[in-house]
A = this chain, B = another copy of it.
């Protein structure tokens, strides 16, 4: 299978070589940035281009791994109808594709990618959606090359999944950031929290977050809660977050203030 990549960022840099390793042929890489295009093309030993009108027309699958806000623009510059095309976004619908694209879909891997850390796609869920049976099957097959967790979901479900992922990843990472900041204020080595942070995720995943919940709010331990709120007097923003979480946890577990 010949795949053309549109985009050469974090996701493409992990995804293209992984697919190639499992037998797909990366045919070409397109990116507006010559450096990115060239780097990924070298990794995949294939051609690259920075001009939309130079994108090869004989690919069997076009995978778009661009920023959400340039996907539609880039699609409109394509001068041919691709045999099968899919974007990799959590929040874009199928409507971004021109109507004449009869085999278009979504190929969304639910994970956070960084350029410098390696990725094992095997356990990463791929959420697939398509406007045709033929491309649905091609996209499922392609995802199946590298992942053991390929599912078909609707746009509405994918939007909800993306929203849930913002809570689970973006916001919890920000909590980690805020906690490290609290340590630095009192000259406490910030790596002291590492094991706790790792265990937090493991416990949530291997038991479940509802029963893994612990802490003063879960226990309804008002003396600790009041002490903490007082310690946050000089951090109104953190104090507000502390209150909101405490209320929400106490509410969930039937404790009341």
Contact = CB atoms under 8 A, between A and B. Distances in A.
Contacts of A176: 168, 172, 201, 204, 209, 212
B125 A169 contact: no
Contact of A111 (B125, B165, B199): B199
A127 B193 CA distance: 12
A96 interface: no
A160 interface: yes
A221 B69 contact: yes
A188 B161 contact: yes
Contact of A214 (B170, B200, B207): B170
A177 B245 contact: no
Interface of A: 68-69, 91, 110-112, 114, 116-117, 123-125, 127, 149, 151, 153, 156-157, 159-161, 163-180, 182-183, 185-189, 192-210, 212-218, 221, 223-224, 227-228, 231-232, 237-238, 240-242, 244-245, 248-249, 252
B161 A168 contact: no
Nearest to A201: B201
Given A160-B231, A171-B241, 10 more contacts: A69-B221, A124-B195, A164-B188, A166-B215, A167-B175, A167-B178, A172-B172, A174-B213, A177-B209, A241-B248
Sorted from nearest, which 10 A-B pairs have the closest CB atoms?
A: A170-B215, A172-B172, A201-B201, A176-B209, A164-B179, A168-B179, A177-B209, A164-B182, A167-B179, A176-B204
A112 B153 contact: no
A180 B208 contact: yes
Contact of A224 (B68, B160, B177): B68
B193 A164 contact: yes
A43 B164 CA distance: 42
